[in-house]
């Protein structure tokens, strides 16, 4: 009896001891986890999260707060950063976008235009063997005189001011974002898009060949700027990558009526811009650069002819829908292709670049009004007849717009400008330029 009591007591004591040990182990684990969380919290407290209330009201001109959060994780270990990684978001975002605004029944209009496109667009393309190539205007790397040719190019480039190079770089970056523009055209409804990547419809053939011709522009300017030694190529390359990643918002809504009005305006704008950089290069004594900008401008003029012909045909076939589309684009205002430009530093880079272009006379508000006036005349908008009531109102709006834009520009020019307004440009090694 006594032995049984002792045995039972010993068993009970062992169970109690095991329970105590288990509780102690659990307590140690809890304390260890709390300490680990405290350390992580201290590290996370070092991160500055921007408040949405402090962000500017225009979403497309600011960097995404999601990207900013990722960029402030410098104090965290590599392993922790991997655990906290966020998906990529473009630094410039377009919050509200409209898609597929063209009525489905309009698709047949563009299908019926395919034979016309073959006869009137594809004939404006040049055979590759007859096209100029960037190497035609650059030092010959296989030549014994290559280094001397580069030296001469750099000597001519020394005579050009920084503000000229900022505008030339901006034009080049706009050209280098060509993948975005081909993508935009291939979003258009109505049988315009290249459905396979090698479609043999006239619309698809035009888009690919137009892209191929345009591709030479960015290649030529990029190589020239690299050889000039006057610009920071690393920051320029970053700007190109940011811009292609951000895309563009032309407000064309997958609608070919809007899309071809936009491209007509833009080809005219790039023709003017490259023509003015050619003129300024000549004034500064760089005849080779003037030739480069001039040959690019000539291409843009030929492409302008193609796109304006398309809209002219639409006015002939469907004047009411076309004038409504033109008025719609002008109310929304034509945005420049590189309006989401960013270099990793300046949230207002496009606005600052545009201000320099305006100041030195490469592309101005007056040019914008002149382009609209040119297109209104080219398409004989004032002479349109048989329009609906809404169409006539759109006609009056569009025809009266160029004088209004000019009056606004004159008032803006009449205001006293702040001569101290400057901004640094990473493209020219962070030097401050007058805006």
Residues classed as catalytic: 132, 175, 214, 217, 267, 270, 299-300, 303
Classify each residue of 68-89 as buried b or exposed e, where b means 16 or more C-beta atoms within 10 Å of its C-beta: eebeebeebeeeeeeeeeeeee
- Closest among 267, 278, 409 to 337, alpha carbons compared: 267
Query: Mutual orientation of helices 256-283 and 162-176 as an angle, nearest 10°?
Result: 150
**Under 8 Å between Cβ of 291 and 283:** no
CB 362 within 8 A of CB 166: no
What angle in degrees, to the nearest 10, is found between the helix axes of 178-185 and 233-246? 10
Torsion of Cα atoms, 272 then 277 then 278 then 280, to 10° = 120
Which among 343, 338, 349, 345 has a CA at the least distance from the CA of 239? 343
Closest C-alpha to 233, from 49, 429, 16: 429
- Residues 6 or more apart from 165 whose CB is under 8 A from it? 225, 228, 230, 231, 427, 428
Spell out a b/e string for 387-418, using b for 16 or more CB atoms within 10 Å of the CB, else e.
Answer: eeeebeebbeebbebbeebbeebeeeeeeeee
What is the DSSP secondary structure assignment for residue 63, as one 8-state letter? B
């Amino acid at each position: 009896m006594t032995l049984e009591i002792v045995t039972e007591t010993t068993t009970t004591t062992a169970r109690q001891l095991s329970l105590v040990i288990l509780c102690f182990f659990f307590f140690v684990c809890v304390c260890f986890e709390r300490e680990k969380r405290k350390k992580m919290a201290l590290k996370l407290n070092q991160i500055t999260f921007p408040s949405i209330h402090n962000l500017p009201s225009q979403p497309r001109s600011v960097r995404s707060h999601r990207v900013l959060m990722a960029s402030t994780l410098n104090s965290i270990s590599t392993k922790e950063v991997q655990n906290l990684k966020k998906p990529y978001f473009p630094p410039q975002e377009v919050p509200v976008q409209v898609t597929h605004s063209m009525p489905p029944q309009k698709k047949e209009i563009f299908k019926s235009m395919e034979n016309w496109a073959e006869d009137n667009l594809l004939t404006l393309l040049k055979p590759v063997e007859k096209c100029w190539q960037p190497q035609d205007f650059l030092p010959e790397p296989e030549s014994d005189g290559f280094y001397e040719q580069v030296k001469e190019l750099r000597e001519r480039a020394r005579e050009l001011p920084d503000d000229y190079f900022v505008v030339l770089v901006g034009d080049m970056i706009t050209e280098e974002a060509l993948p975005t523009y081909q993508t935009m055209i291939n979003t258009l409804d109505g049988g315009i898009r290249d459905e396979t990547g090698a479609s043999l419809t006239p619309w698809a053939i035009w888009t690919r060949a137009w892209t191929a011709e345009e591709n030479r522009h960015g290649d030529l300017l990029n190589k020239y700027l690299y050889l000039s030694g006057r610009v920071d190529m690393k920051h320029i390359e970053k700007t190109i990558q940011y811009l292609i990643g951000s895309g563009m918002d032309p407000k064309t809504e997958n609608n070919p009526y809007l899309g071809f009005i936009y491209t007509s305006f833009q080809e005219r704008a790039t023709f003017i811009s490259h023509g003015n950089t050619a003129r300024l290069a000549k004034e500064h004594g760089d005849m080779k650069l003037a030739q480069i900008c001039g040959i690019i401008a000539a291409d843009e003029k030929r492409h302008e002819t193609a796109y304006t012909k398309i809209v002219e045909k639409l006015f002939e076939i469907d004047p009411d829908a076309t004038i409504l589309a033109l008025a719609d684009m002008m109310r929304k205002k034509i945005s420049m292709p590189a309006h989401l430009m960013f270099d990793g530093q300046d949230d207002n880079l496009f606005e600052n670049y545009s201000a320099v272009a305006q100041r030195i006379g490469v592309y101005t508000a007056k040019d914008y009004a002149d382009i609209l006036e040119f297109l209104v005349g080219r398409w004989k908008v004032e002479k349109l007849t048989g329009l609906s009531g809404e169409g006539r109102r759109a006609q009056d709006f569009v025809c009266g717009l160029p004088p209004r834009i000019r009056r606004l520009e004159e008032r803006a020019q009449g205001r006293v400008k702040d001569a101290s307004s400057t901004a640094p440009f990473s493209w020219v090694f962070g030097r401050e330029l007058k805006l």
